[in-house]
Structure 1
Amino acid sequence: MTPDLSATMRTFATGLTVVTTFAKTEAETEAEAEAGADGVRRHDAMVVRSFTSVSLDPPLVSLAVRRDCDVLGTLLDTGVWAVSILDVAGADLAQALEGDRESRARALLTCATTPGSRTGCLVLDAPGWLECRLDARHDTGDHTVLIGEVLATGGRHRRPPLVSVNGTLRVLSEA
């Protein structure tokens, strides 16, 4: 009998984060080389539930990304990302970011973001955020675990956090 890991892990409450990164198209890269300019970035994002602090000294975090996720290649190519920790106001955004690349791009246009000062990745208006640079990667099972060096952090607590448990988004109230 094969263990049903998915069903069991759904009972473990996890926080929700949005990981953002960017890519440049070939045309933008060629034009940028000729013009000596930065070019336009094509930002992308995904919801990540498997995110954790790994080390405080040096500051490292990890995130696990399915190998068949179309954002993984961009993350590896760019080598930088931002993580925004969602609160209750992020429930609709989290659902919108579960779609295809075009749907995710439209969803990013609907929320308040700022390019991170250390990576240029979009930082959401969230209770907590981090900017990271790829430190290591480990392919294991059907996921790639990315270890990121934390370059910058920030945020402010305003609303209750958003968690996922039993496949449902829930608000963690302070009772």
Structure 2
Amino acid sequence: MSLDLHTTMRTFATGICVVTTFTEEEGHRRHDAVAVRSFTSVSLDPPLVSLTVRRDCDVLETLLATKVWAVSILDVAGIDLAQALDADQEARARALLTCTASPGARTGALVLDAPGWLECALHDRYDTGDHTVLIGEVLATGDRHRRPPLVFVNGTLRSLSEA
């Protein structure tokens, strides 16, 4: 039997989050973001979460240098943003300009107008396979439930509504 992990994992529905961070360049802040499907709570005490980022993703270098980020959990209104963040840095920057967002009080990373959000600081990291797992200490949280969540399943972004 051959392994086809990609095909099998496509059947597992996951939420979609936007992870934002920034760099300081000549006195001004340049925000960047990436959409992730691998995000989970690791521990409530201490409050820790994990996210997984491809090693070839250029946002990873910024995350590791800044050591802070915000995670915004998307609802169905975020489908266009999630798709736009799968592009080069310039396109991602343009996509962020279309968002309602504000710098988080604890990290300065952009917190989007989303159903749920967290601000995190790097607690640990693990390079494994073609990804890096980042463990973040949760510094702040918030929620604003309005619309059904956005999920990724069978290779497509979809709305999750109650049956």
TM-score (norm 2): 0.98
Q: What SS is found at the alignment partner of 1:158?
A: coil
**Structure 2: which amino acid aligns with 1:65?**
V
Aligned to 1:13: 13
Identity among equivalent pairs (%): 80
Q: CA deviation at 1:150?
A: 0.1
Unaligned runs of 5+ in 2: none
* Rounded Cα–Cα distance in structure 2 between residues aligned with 1:148 and 1:8: 28
Aligned to 1:78: 66
1:3 aligns with 2:17: no
**Structure 2: which amino acid aligns with 1:91?**
I
Q: Structure 1 or 2: larger helix share?
A: 1
Q: What SS is found at the alignment partner of 2:62?
A: helix
Cα RMSD of the aligned pairs, angstroms, is: 0.8
| CA-to-aligned-CA distance 1:81-119 (integer Å, 9 cap, x gap) | 000000000001111111100000000000100100000
Q: Displaced runs of 4+ in structure 1, greater than 2 A? A: none
TM-score (norm 1): 0.91
**Structure 1: which amino acid aligns with 2:141?**
T
User: Whose Rg is larger?
Assistant: 1
Unaligned runs of 5+ in 1: 29-38
Aligned to 1:171: 159
**Structure 2: which amino acid aligns with 1:153?**
T
* Rounded Cα–Cα distance in structure 1 between residues aligned with 2:51 and 2:105: 21
* Rounded Cα–Cα distance in structure 2 between residues aligned with 1:62 and 1:95: 22
Q: What SS is found at the alignment partner of 1:118?
A: coil
